[in-house]
Structure 1
Amino acid sequence: MGYYIIIDSGTTNTRIKLLDEQANILYTYSDKVGVKNTAVDGNNNALKDTVAKGIKHVMDKNNLTNADIIKIGASGMITSDLGLCEVPHQEAPVGIEDLRNGSKTIILKDITDLPITFISGVKNNVSEVTLDNVQMMDIMRGEEVETIAMLQELEKDREYLFILPGSHTKFIKINDKGQIAGCVTTLAGELLEVITQNTILSAAVDKKFLSPDLYNEKILLKGYENSKEVGMTRALFSTRILNRFVTSDAADCANYLLGIVLASDLGTIKSSKVLDVSSHTTVVVAGKEPLKKAIIYLLKQEGYFDNIIELENFDDANMSAKGVFHLIKN
């Protein structure tokens, strides 16, 4: 039996996973080092050391030699100019074979004697980005391999819209050929963090994000509707009004706040020319709770899409590993 080592390195974290030939994840090594270290230090030595140490750790802990490893793959920001091997973004539409053909396999002797295959990111197809069309351009590094893994679990020959909430919400359009047709990114997660931790609203939500067990659809929906009616910034301040005159419960205010931010996010879906969705586009929502549940609920309240699928047990790190596995497997 042989094994695959998959490296997923982002801005602040690196995860290295060991997979068997059936894509079962057998072992995980992680460290809080990413391309942010490269930006701060002015070199990628910290990232090199982390990946080298991680690969050795994974192999030693599982009593493996180089002969046991079939392939090593890497995705995420590790393939950017701040990573270990820059691989240019491919222009959408991009399918599985495009990602395979656009990857770069090299040996980095100061990391391992084994070759590493670096998977490219994806960018929207805009020949020249200007002030007039800047909204048409978007990029991804890492989500493309999550997308490949998700597609393996879904029906073929259908048009999808993947929604991946997180620090940045990623909307990914899949055409009926199974290709990434384009993507749109929002700053929703980071915005929620800033509002929760560093604004006049921090006290209203007790500087805490909404926990899944305190999720309240009624209050979420009211924040969503108010944001659509009067705009985000007015609706945001009304969270303070809610706290002062209606309820002092931090969870209520957090539900209201989440609805406000998601109104802007979900408004992107219909307004974006990149996504170009119709009511027949199948929507697939992944991610953590309560974001996933909230997005699905609000989409159903809008009543536009005929089919909305919840992707259960989604783990972005595991999905990334399985996506890379699918791309590099023999």
Structure 2
Amino acid sequence: MQAQLIALDWGTTSLRAYLLGPAGHVQNMRSLACGIMQLPTTARHIAGQPCIDGFELAFDAACGDWLDANPSIPVIACGMVGSAQGWREAPYRTTPSSLKALSTALQTVRSVRGVDVHIVPGVIQHSTLPNVMRGEETQVLGVMHSQPNLNDCLIGLPGSHSKWVQVQDGCLVHFDTFMTGELYAAACEHTILGRTQQQSGQFDGAAFERGVQVALSPDGQLGPLSTLFSARTLGLTGQLTPTQQPDYVSGLLIGHEVSALSRVVRQRRGDKPLPAIILIGNAQLCQRYQRALRACGFADVSLAEQATEQGLWHLAKAAGLLHHTQTEG
């Protein structure tokens, strides 16, 4: 089966490369710790010439052999590679944003191999408190094409900066951001809470659920700046073991996030029931969010698969990058 597209999900800390066949079927995939903030530094020859550029080195490491085997294959990339600190800046497109709007705004950088890399722009939401995303818009597009009837759904993308996205008639129209993952890492690694914690490698569901319930309780109305301290006091009083504390903090912060989300969603929807939720991301993290969302009253929560690959495939198709192929899907 002939390869038809190289698709790159290039973020801050990692680079995931996909070799796609007809209809976006994944033929091969590899992941490298070569995000834009930790690019390779060891010089080597690429296409017969010495190279020291970190982006070129990472690109060649990710898919050089695929390019050798498929000389005319198109390449598309999303994520922080298109930021001001990336390989080539792809300016934000404003909401509402559609497949057409994003596919007609790709920015191109030519590699030393002579291969054009087409970079997807991010999305900006102008408001009193502006909001931005890079990479998540591609995942949302992937879900939109696999599940077209999304007007009454909310798409969640848990992570360092969790996104909650509303789509309407094929357009990304609104999104909210929560710095839950980054706050969790900071609290556990750089505050006094981490002094009494011990990572076990095993998920403690009861400790996580306890954190969620505290966030949803009357005590939780004081907010995470107050309830976070309970991770220390429950440990000091013997009510949480060192290995339970990390999952308790995780449940606490995710609980505060979904509690705030449910409150805002209810305000926006009035008498309408809560929407179905589609989650995109790491399966283990999404399972934590499923637990917290159901505790908040979101009964219909599902996980999407291959959202990034499908989003990049459809963007490439809409941009005309697959014109050389016979079967586009």
> Is the alpha carbon distance of 1:287 and 1:223 closer, same or farther for their aligned partners in structure 2, counting shifts above 3 Å?
farther
> Is the alpha carbon distance of 1:188 and 1:109 closer, same or farther for their aligned partners in structure 2, counting shifts above 3 Å?
closer
Q: Which runs of 4+ in 1 moved over 6 A?
A: none
Q: Pick from 103, 106, 110 the counterpart of residue 103 of structure 1.
A: 106
The aligned counterpart of 1:65 is 70
Q: Pick from 178, 181, 185 the counterpart of residue 189 of structure 1.
A: 181
The aligned counterpart of 1:3 is 4
1:284 partnered with 2:278: yes
Deviates more, 1:250-259 or 1:188-197: 250-259
Task: Measure, in 2, the Cα distance between the counterparts of 1:210 and 1:94.
Answer: 40
Mapping for residues 163-182 of structure 1, pairs under 5 Å: 163-175=156-168, 177-182=169-174
The aligned counterpart of 1:240 is 232
The aligned counterpart of 2:28 is 27
Task: Measure, in 1, the Cα distance between the counterparts of 2:13 and 2:284.
Answer: 23
Q: Any idea what the Cα deviations from partners look like across 1:5-40, whole Å, max 9, x if unmatched?
A: 1122111222222111131222234332232258x9
In structure 2, the residue corresponding to 1:84 is in which secondary structure?
coil
1:46 partnered with 2:51: no
The answer (yes or no) to whether the contact 2:214–2:252 under 8 Å persists in 1 is yes
1:224 partnered with 2:224: no
1:13 partnered with 2:18: no
How much does 1:109 deviate? Answer: 4.3
Task: Measure, in 1, the Cα distance between the counterparts of 2:223 and 2:62.
Answer: 47
AA matched with 1:231: G
In structure 1, the residue corresponding to 2:75 is in which secondary structure?
strand
How much does 1:165 deviate? Answer: 1.1
The aligned counterpart of 2:124 is 123
In structure 2, the residue corresponding to 1:287 is in which secondary structure?
coil
The aligned counterpart of 1:130 is none
The answer (yes or no) to whether the contact 1:15–1:29 under 8 Å persists in 2 is yes
The answer (yes or no) to whether the contact 1:223–1:256 under 8 Å persists in 2 is no
How much does 1:297 deviate? Answer: 2.6
Task: Measure, in 2, the Cα distance between the counterparts of 1:244 and 1:157.
Answer: 47
In structure 2, the residue corresponding to 1:17 is in which secondary structure?
strand
How much does 1:289 deviate? Answer: 5.1
1:215 partnered with 2:205: yes
Q: Any idea what the Cα deviations from partners look like across 1:198-248, whole Å, max 9, x if unmatched?
A: 222224331x28744x21264233332355233212211111221122434
The answer (yes or no) to whether the contact 2:280–2:307 under 8 Å persists in 1 is no
The answer (yes or no) to whether the contact 1:95–1:179 under 8 Å persists in 2 is yes
Task: Measure, in 1, the Cα distance between the counterparts of 2:106 and 2:295.
Answer: 41
Task: Measure, in 1, the Cα distance between the counterparts of 2:286 and 2:124.
Answer: 25
Task: Measure, in 1, the Cα distance between the counterparts of 2:174 and 2:150.
Answer: 17
Task: Measure, in 2, the Cα distance between the counterparts of 1:77 and 1:299.
Answer: 29
Q: Pick from 88, 93, 96 the counterpart of residue 93 of structure 1.
A: 96
CA root-mean-square deviation: 2.8
Aligned-residue sequence identity (percent) comes to: 20
AA matched with 1:102: A
Aligned residue-pair number: 301
Task: Measure, in 2, the Cα distance between the counterparts of 1:13 and 1:54.
Answer: 11
How much does 1:87 deviate? Answer: 1.4
> Is the alpha carbon distance of 1:201 and 1:53 closer, same or farther for their aligned partners in structure 2, counting shifts above 3 Å?
closer
Unaligned runs of 5+ in 2: 42-51, 323-329
Task: Measure, in 1, the Cα distance between the counterparts of 2:105 and 2:79.
Answer: 14
Task: Measure, in 2, the Cα distance between the counterparts of 1:281 and 1:125.
Answer: 24
